[in-house]
Amino acid sequence: MFQNIFSLIYGSTIPSANKLDGPTIRPASISDLDRIAEVAVKGFPDDPEFDYRFPHRLEYPQDHFKWVREEYKEYLEQTEKFSVVVVTTKDATTTREDTVISLAVWDMDNSIASRGGDLGLNERRDVNKAHYTEYLATLERGRLEYFSKYGNEQYHLWLLVTHPDFRKRGAGTMLCRWGMEKATEQSYMTTVLGSPMGTLLYEYLGFKLVGFVTAHVEGEEEKVDVSCLEYKKD
């Protein structure tokens, strides 16, 4: 099922950026799912939390792609809670109308609990189970400690990723500003739990760093720091 996708991810990749037209932002659909998973698999490994959670992903690429794909499928299916937004470019070298190069998942309703399975935690081989569990618990601690006071009057940036071939072209900024503008229309706060790489972009866009939380399994040296940031237009 995934053979063609693997050839894109681990073999030949998408055409070079200089053959693509300007970016467009739009809501994602289920038809984008394979490409969204590809972008996530290719774009997140620079993030320390990916090594922390998925240290065996190169040994077991089929497991990794399968369950990353399932995660984004769950986001796309929860339309009452999440807005999955993508930036695309027109591909001048193939028959594709557009190619997803970047994506964001926005939590638009904090009052609705996220529905989701364990994403194969007891069967997938790419994951460090203890680190995975601790990291998710750390994110929840961060949300409760720093952002629960805003209740449902916030839009929370769940995640943001750009394919490495298309970084520094403004796609991440477009996706951030999409949510920031919607929050401003409602006089809401915009919140995010950021990686070291993402924090640079968020602060550039005007987010204020309000604290940190750390994923750390007792008895280990390895850990991951997560920045807690918020934005509200004056």
When comparing pLDDT for 177 and 20, which is higher? 177
Neighbours of 4 (CB within 10 A): 9
Residue 29, pLDDT above cutoff 60: yes
> Is 19 a residue whose pLDDT tops 50?
no
Tell me the average pLDDT across 75-90: 95
Give the DSSP H/E element, type plus range, for residue 83.
strand 82-91
Residue 73 has a pLDDT of 97
2: which DSSP letter?
-
Sheet holding 208-216, edge to edge: 20-27, 82-91, 99-107, 154-162, 189-194, 223-231, 208-216
Chain mean pLDDT for the chain:
88
Band (17; pLDDT cuts 50, 70, 90): very low
Integer Cα distance of 174 and 172 in angstroms: 5
DSSP string, 38-49: HHHHHHSTTSHH
Q: Grade residue 226 by pLDDT with cuts at 50, 70 and 90.
A: very high
pLDDT at 197: 79
Q: Which pair of structure tokens corresponds to residue 86?
A: 């993508």
pLDDT confidence tier of residue 98, bands split at 50, 70 and 90? confident
- Higher-confidence residue: 147 or 97? 147
- 81: pLDDT confidence band, cut at 50, 70 and 90? very high
pLDDT surpassing 90 at residue 38: yes
At residue 15, does pLDDT exceed 60?
no
User: Is the per-residue pLDDT at 161 higher than 60?
Assistant: yes
| Tens digits of residue pLDDT in 178-224 | 999 999 999 999 999 998 778 999 999 999 999 999 999 999 999 99
Per-residue pLDDT, 96 = 60
Domains and CATH numbers, the chain: 3-231 (3.40.630.30)
Contact status, residue 29 vs residue 88, Cβ threshold 8 Å? no
Mean pLDDT of 108-123: 92
